Amino acid sequence: MEVDKATLSLLDRIQEIVAKAHKLENLGKDQINNVCAVDVSYDKKAVAAAVIWRCSEKKVIEVAKYVGKPFFPYVSGYLFMREAPLVISAFKALKEKIDLLLVDGHGIAHPRRAGLAVFVGLALEIPTLGIAKSLLVGKIGSFEGIIAPILLNNSVVGIAFRVPETGKIYFASPGHKLTVEDSINVVKHEYRNLIKALELAHRSSKSLQKEGK
């Protein structure tokens, strides 16, 4: 399925509107405990998994899924059209309350400052952080410890962080109800738990995909 320029122009406008609607406000917590990560795997159907990881106990406390079909192809910069309805539906199946939602994608580190994490966070009205495996826009500044700023148009829109154990670099940016400063604080103190939660969501979506065959 190809997407024409007129459709992409309309989606650009939607993203610009959403970028003005979401809130970069203080998390209001010094520590987080219940973290929910969401991810989607694809085959004939799409399976979205939502996994709640309790940081203090290092254990999964709830898993939910949603099975559906994506109605939009993968187009870089427009992941919200493909995955937002799926991950939102999976999250809504959960019962436990959470402190922070993790989305496998970008927040404001996006050409129009409206990545997947912005759409999902705004739709659910909860603090949301996007964590991606590749940089979509901007430049990485100098590392101080495990963290470096992501710079876009002379402003900091997120952070890159290097996992000491593996050397792998991830890219985090706030989606909703979270500031860049909050993102730095959360990553500094909980990066192992954040990565663990995302890995579990990825594995769960893959496992649930196989079970459905």
Rounded average pLDDT over 149-158: 96
Instruction: Tell me the backbone φ, ψ of residue 127, rounded to 5 degrees.
Output: -60, 125
From the list 112, 130, 113, the residue with the least C-alpha distance to 173 is: 130
Q: pLDDT per residue over 17-73, tens digit each? A: 999 999 999 998 878 999 999 999 998 899 999 999 999 999 999 999 999 998 899
Instruction: Give phi and psi for 174, each to the nearest 5.
Output: -65, 145
Cβ contacts of 83 within 8 Å, gap of 6 or more:
40, 48, 70, 105, 116
**35-48 pLDDT tens trace:** 999 999 998 899 99
Residue with tokens 């710079």: 151
Share of the chain above pLDDT 70, in %: 99
What's the whole-number mean pLDDT along residues 8-19? 97
Q: Are 151 and 109 in contact (CB under 8 A)?
A: no
User: For all residues of the chain together, what is the average pLDDT?
Assistant: 95
Q: Where does the pLDDT of residue 11 fall: very low under 50, low under 70, confident under 90, or very high at 90 and above?
A: very high
pLDDT range class, residue 213, cuts 50, 70, 90: low
Closest CA to 98 of 48, 54, 39: 54
Q: Is the distance from CB of 54 to CB of 34 less than 8 angstroms?
A: yes
133, with CB counted inside 10 A (0-12, 13-18, 19+), is: exposed
Find the range with the poorest average confidence among 57-66, 76-85, 202-211: 202-211
Burial of 129 (0-12, 13-18, 19+ CB in 10 A): buried
85, burial (CB in 10 Å: exposed 0-12, middle 13-18, buried 19+)? buried
DSSP codes of every residue in 118-178: HHHHHHHTS-EEEEESS--SSEE---BTTEEEEEETTEEEEEEEE-TTT--EEEEEEEES-
Domain ranges of the chain: 25-211
pLDDT band at 1 (very low <50, low <70, confident <90, very high): low
CB atoms within 10 A of CB 181: 13
∠ CA 70-73-76, nearest 5°, is: 125
Quote the pTM value. Answer: 0.95
DSSP, collapsed to helix, strand or coil, labels residue 44 as coil
- Asked if residue 170 has pLDDT above 60, the reply is yes
For residue 18 the two structure tokens come to 């959403």
Q: What is the CATH number of domain 25-211?
A: 3.30.2170.10
C-alpha distances in angstroms, 11 versus 14, 16, 126? 5, 9, 23
